Amino acid sequence: MSLPDASQTTQPIQLLDLGRQHRPLRQQVLEALAQVYDSGAFVLGPEVKKLEITFAQYCRVPHAIGCASGSDALLLALMALGVGQGDEVILPSFTFFSTATAVTRLGARPVFADIDPQTFTMDPRHVARLITARTKVLLPVHLFGQCADMEAIGRLAAEAGLAVVEDCAQSIGAQWDGQPCGSIGDIGCFSFYPTKNLGGAGDGGMLTTRRDDLVERLRLLRAHGMEPRYYHKLIGINSRLDSFQAAVLNVKFPYLEQWTTARQANAARYQELFTHAGLDRILGLPQTNPRCRHVWNQYVIRTPGGKRDALRAYLAEAKIGTEIYYPLGLHQQECFQFLGYRPGDLPETERAAQEVLALPIFPELTPAEQERVVGTIAGFYRSSAAAAASPQTSASIPPPKFLQSPQVAPNQSVPVRRQAD
Ligand SMILES: Cc1ncc(COP(=O)(O)O)c(C=O)c1O
């Protein structure tokens, strides 16, 4: 019996369809933008202040400071902590590029830790072996919407007298033991890049901190270290949050929790559908640490056996968008060759880079679309099992019950919209 792959419908399913989120908010957003335009307060100003207050409350910290991007938030955090030449910062290799460039831009050395294969987040056992007298900061990344093990990382930092900067770019609303990310370490760094769970209409970022001694420094550093006007206390940068972005984010913020709940429901539904289709025995489905509130910025499966790129091409032909976060560990990137890493140095990172595939998980994704995603993946494995004439594998993938009508093989390729990071 052949397994149907739910590709009979030709409607594309994008990895992230922002239009569905934005269309109902269009009027509200345009009104908010018009107000900013009429006010003439384009840089920082009341919309940014309002967002900073809401954000601080949401993260349960006394201070939130808007800035121009998540990349700048990381840079500013390390600047505020005095990271510079000769210092080392330990961070995962399996993350977006700018987690590491915040370090190198200050003349410090990124020291890459491997990941926990279950959660894709920085492995504290490896971090423990990397701490030296030069280490200044531990920089965990709450990847794909799930917190790193903040208890173990916090303990290592306390023992060695190190600061902790949390990269929360993908994890707004995530919690570790009920504590919001961004409120656990010394500084939290958030991104409002449009693909994030709270995305602006352009770039934006936010810093959070519990530390009263850091807040003025962060505020100064994001605006040329200037106070009062044309008197510069510190050598800062220009990284002010744009009022138009803040206005958009202020409109969107009240919906964040409902969007997060929808992402969580979609993740649970994938789990059910994959299990029902027998694919949990073939794929590595994402694991949630029970101590973490996962907010599912990405739903990332593992595709063992070297089949990831073929599966991705198959899904693209069925007009289903996917992405590879990330095809290389940072220690494997050309620009970081000077750091001297060799193949095999971070085996879990390197394995993940070969296996991972992100599937659509955005809040407005429908159950029918999820069924089609899973059905198409089932179709891929069934056809590749048949091609390999492996009755054993083929038999292990029963046709999912939710697929009822006969299928048409995917035959039309579709440009998959790229998400940058
Ligand atoms: C883990 C991580 N860190 C940092 C960033 C940088 O944020 P931004 O794009 O706002 O500069 C991103 C995403 O873009 C990210 O995913």
Using N-to-C axis directions, what is the helix angle for 70-80 and 212-221, rounded to 10°? 120
- Beta bridge mates, 43: 242
Q: Whose CA is nearest to atom 7 of ligand 1?
A: 70
Residue 183 domain flag: yes
Q: How confident is the model at residue 349, as a pLDDT?
A: 98
Residues 184-230 have pLDDT tens digits of 999 999 999 999 999 999 999 999 999 999 999 999 999 999 999 99
Q: Is the CB of 69 under 6 A from ligand 1?
A: yes
Give the whole-number percent of the chain exceeding pLDDT 70. Answer: 90
| Whole-number Å distance between alpha carbons of 168 and 181 | 7
Averaged over 83-87, what is the pLDDT? 98
Indicate whether 43 and 155 sit together in one domain: yes
Indicate whether 221 and 134 sit together in one domain: yes
Q: How confident is the model at residue 288, as a pLDDT?
A: 97
Residue 150 domain flag: yes
pLDDT higher than 60, residue 86? yes
Indicate whether 270 and 238 sit together in one domain: no
Q: How confident is the model at residue 387, as a pLDDT?
A: 77
Nearest residue to 394 via CA among 410, 375, 376, 380:
380
Q: Is the CB of 419 under 6 A from ligand 1?
A: no
Indicate whether 130 and 171 sit together in one domain: yes
Q: Is the CB of 71 under 6 A from ligand 1?
A: yes
Q: How confident is the model at residue 84, as a pLDDT?
A: 98
Of 199, 230, 254, which one is at a domain's C-terminal end? Answer: 254
Q: Is the CB of 394 under 6 A from ligand 1?
A: no
Residues 393-418 have pLDDT tens digits of 444 544 445 443 333 233 333 333 44
* Atom of ligand 1 at shortest range from CA of 170: 16
Indicate whether 182 and 195 sit together in one domain: yes
Q: How confident is the model at residue 5, as a pLDDT?
A: 52
CATH at 112: 3.40.640.10
Q: Whose CA is nearest to atom 13 of ligand 1?
A: 421
Q: Whose CA is nearest to atom 10 of ligand 1?
A: 70
**How many angstroms from the chain centroid is the CA of residue 239?**
21
Residue 413 domain flag: no
Residue 232 domain flag: yes
Indicate whether 268 and 208 sit together in one domain: no
Q: How confident is the model at residue 29, as a pLDDT?
A: 98
* Atom of ligand 1 at shortest range from CA of 420: 14
Averaged over 127-152, what is the pLDDT? 98
Number of domains in the chain: 2
Q: Using pLDDT thresholds of 50, 70 and 90, give the confidence band for residue 93.
A: very high
Nearest residue to 302 via CA among 359, 347, 368:
359
Nearest residue to 164 via CA among 197, 148, 187, 144:
187
Of 234, 254, 274, which one is at a domain's C-terminal end? Answer: 254
Indicate whether 263 and 233 sit together in one domain: no
Residues 148-189 have pLDDT tens digits of 999 999 999 999 999 999 999 999 999 999 999 999 999 999
Range of the domain at 301: 255-395
Strand 205-209 vs strand 292-293: parallel, antiparallel, or unpaired? unpaired
Indicate whether 203 and 116 sit together in one domain: yes
Query: What is the C-alpha end-to-end distance of the chain, expressed in Å?
Result: 41
Residues 58-72 have pLDDT tens digits of 999 999 999 999 999
pLDDT higher than 80, residue 1? no
| Whole-number Å distance between alpha carbons of 93 and 377 | 29
Residue 2 domain flag: no
pLDDT higher than 50, residue 98? yes
Of 254, 274, 303, which one is at a domain's C-terminal end? Answer: 254
DSSP letters, 171-228, are -TT-EETTEETTSSSSEEEEE--TTSSS--SS--EEEEES-HHHHHHHHHHTBTTBSS
Q: Using pLDDT thresholds of 50, 70 and 90, give the confidence band for residue 273.
A: very high
Residue 412 domain flag: no
Indicate whether 227 and 316 sit together in one domain: no
Averaged over 17-41, what is the pLDDT? 97
CATH at 312: 3.90.1150.10
Residue 12 domain flag: no
Indicate whether 200 and 304 sit together in one domain: no
Tokens of 373: 């995603």
Q: What is the largest CA-CA distance in the chain?
A: 77
Residue 68 domain flag: yes
pLDDT higher than 50, residue 419? no
pLDDT higher than 90, residue 73? yes
Indicate whether 266 and 391 sit together in one domain: yes
Residues 325-366 have pLDDT tens digits of 999 999 999 999 999 999 999 999 999 999 999 999 999 999
Q: How confident is the model at residue 221, as a pLDDT?
A: 98
Q: Using pLDDT thresholds of 50, 70 and 90, give the confidence band for residue 389.
A: low
**How many angstroms from the chain centroid is the CA of residue 231?**
38
Q: What's the pTM value of the predicted model, to 2 decimals?
A: 0.92
Indicate whether 143 and 114 sit together in one domain: yes
